[in-house]
A and B are shown apart, each in its own frame.
Chain A
């Protein structure tokens, strides 16, 4: 009796534990309907698009941002009467599921969207590892899969025909940072050759970053990587690693880290009294949360490169239109690159459907492969070059945190909203 009561209790506990996951897994939305509701039952005149995002779990925050971008794009399409397909406006419906930030769930939900929900097309999830798992399912089922959340080149080097990525590779991110550093070196502001301490997280993201920096250094001959170390994600103590960097006494400190590791490492970097002429954490650096966690003083002069910045709205009409739309929908809040990439991912798919003039998967795939549309991304144009495995190579914007608390774009020159400073004047103090 006691055992059966215990077993019953265990079932209740486990059911409660799983309840939230199950409840949040299905969130069909379409047009102007709030998330979790469907405008109308899909008919023959409806384009059904499936997607998963990490709405719970480790990547929940970013998943929520992508969701805002997706919903804005669907709402805009609905306001315009639908998507033009062969001269006829068709309604759009998004079936959005929560992949709980796990690879297995992302892959199985993609399979469900294709084979049970019978969606016409798939939008991708966020984070390289999830996109990597999900893209296999899309390729196997031969369904166009457009994602704005997977940057690792490994995803696009498999010769897949049905997978399209909007995030330019992290190698290019590293190269963008190195190019700006190079201009400073050529201007005589940095030593020649300059020594580099290169730290990278042990993921495909980190490996791509390392490749970008080392290839640039090898090609230019004006840089020498003297510390080249990787570290595990979510590290608790970087003091030994930073000790190695300190002992090497390099000119540049270039790291690639996710936000939690950036905060932990920078905290230890500051307390160890370290300072470099140039410091970067790859895509991290300009986040408001980091400045709040570390104080603005401790993130000054950090360089970062991101796929998009809302500062581009002063340079690009497409970016301005998106920022205005986003602010109007979300109470004046300014979008970050996550929402912009989410929005642009949907727009790319809709543009290809319109160009194909039908919902035929192969026709849409071909149009995606040949797509060339004005874009809110830096460079102003979106393409999926075949030579890069259908991964966009839109340029990055390089930003630098300045003492006044702003992080202007310092490169590329045509997108710059401010002037960068090198070397870090704080090191002389």
Chain B
């Protein structure tokens, strides 16, 4: 198997994980203009939810995706109605929303410490170490599954945002909430649904991450940082841009090992972030309005 082809496959599979982690953050920012610092908290919660359902009830993590997403969606709506909704909109509420959602993350993390202690947990299934042959290379079945879920999520999100009334309403609100009020779109409802959707996507990302590596209540912090890089690279508010940015980031990190020491590969993404912010502040694909 050609080394180059192996690295390409590794990049694509890693991109799936990065994209899943970033969708929720990008969606919430794109519509509500809020940087959801609790994104990391929900990633951690999703990981624990999948682990708990598997260890207590033997439910396969991929079968848990829907129930975990549904519960997280409702939790997200509740969080919006109970907390975020009370903050002023726009720039005035920027710092407050950052603080509020950071506070929620801290609470969630400490609750997780109380419930599950600081022990590392792992979600092991019968196929955790199973490999499949892909283009002549052995690849982890789990990583392929994560990529498939990421791709499915991208397609579903795209259809939702471009082909449904709800999606059109979300995009309209992202463009101009005041005008939406004039044409009868219930802006607050759209905000709540979007926040719920973003929260559910974060939980899905956490659950998928838990199938790949160990986690503890601190899980989510590193993932939040990666999500920031992906969302900013892709252009804030662009779902398709997010997916492509995830692929670029993953490819840069994976191929970097050919040129620099392995421990520096993680920093490459952040260098890329700085470069993009300086040269193209709107992201590689510009500032779009979702879809």
Q: A-side interface residues toward B, CB under 8 Å? A: 2-3, 5-6, 9-10, 13-14, 16-21, 56-61, 63-64, 101, 199, 202, 229-232, 234-237, 239-241, 243-244, 247, 259-260, 263-264, 267-268, 270-273, 289, 292-295, 298
Q: Check if A237 sits within 8 Å of B103, measured CB to CB.
A: no
Task: Give the docked Cα–Cα distance between A271 and B132 (Å).
Answer: 8
B75 → A minimal CB distance (Å):
16
Q: Shortest distance in angstroms between A191's beta carbon and chain B's nearest beta carbon?
A: 24
Q: Which 10 A-B pairs have the closest CB atoms?
A: A60-B118, A17-B106, A13-B103, A293-B122, A202-B263, A260-B214, A271-B140, A271-B131, A264-B213, A239-B10
Q: How would residues 93 to 129 of chain B score, 1 for a CB under 8 Å from any chain A CB and 0 otherwise?
A: 0001001100110110010011001111010100011
Rounded to whole Å, the gap between the CB of A355 and the closest CB of chain B is 37
B190-225 contacts to A, CB under 8 A, are 209, 212-216, 218, 222
Do A289 and B120 touch (CB < 8 A)? yes
Q: B172 at interface (Cβ–Cβ under 8 A)?
A: no
**Contact A20-B110, Cβ < 8 Å, known A59-B118, A260-B213:** yes
Residues of B within 8 A of A264 (CB): 212-214
- Give the number of residue pairs across the A-B interface with Cβ within 8 Å: 151
Q: For the complex, is B138 an interface residue (Cβ under 8 Å from A)? A: yes
- Nearest neighbor of B209 in chain A, beta-carbon distance: A236
Closest CB in chain B relative to A231 CB, distance in Å? 5
Partner of B120, one of A230, A235, A260: A260
Q: Choose among B3, B13, B265 the residue that contacts A247 (Cβ–Cβ < 8 A).
A: B3
Cβ-closest chain B residue relative to A263: B214
| Contact indicator A230/B262 (Cβ below 8 Å) | yes
Does A2 contact B86, Cβ atoms closer than 8 Å? yes
Partner of A293, one of B10, B17, B124, B255: B124
**CA distance in complex: A237, B249 (Å):** 13
B257 within 8 A of partner (CB): yes
Q: Which residue of A lies closest to B118 (CB)?
A: A60
7 A-B pairs within 8 Å (CB atoms) are namely A58-B118, A61-B118, A230-B263, A239-B254, A264-B214, A268-B140, A270-B131
B residues 155-199 in Cβ contact with A at 8 Å: none
Distance A346 CA – B130 CA, assembled complex (angstroms): 46
**Which chain B residues border A239 with CB–CB below 8 Å?**
6, 10, 13-14, 254
Task: Decide yes or no whether B266 CB sits under 8 A from chain A.
Answer: yes
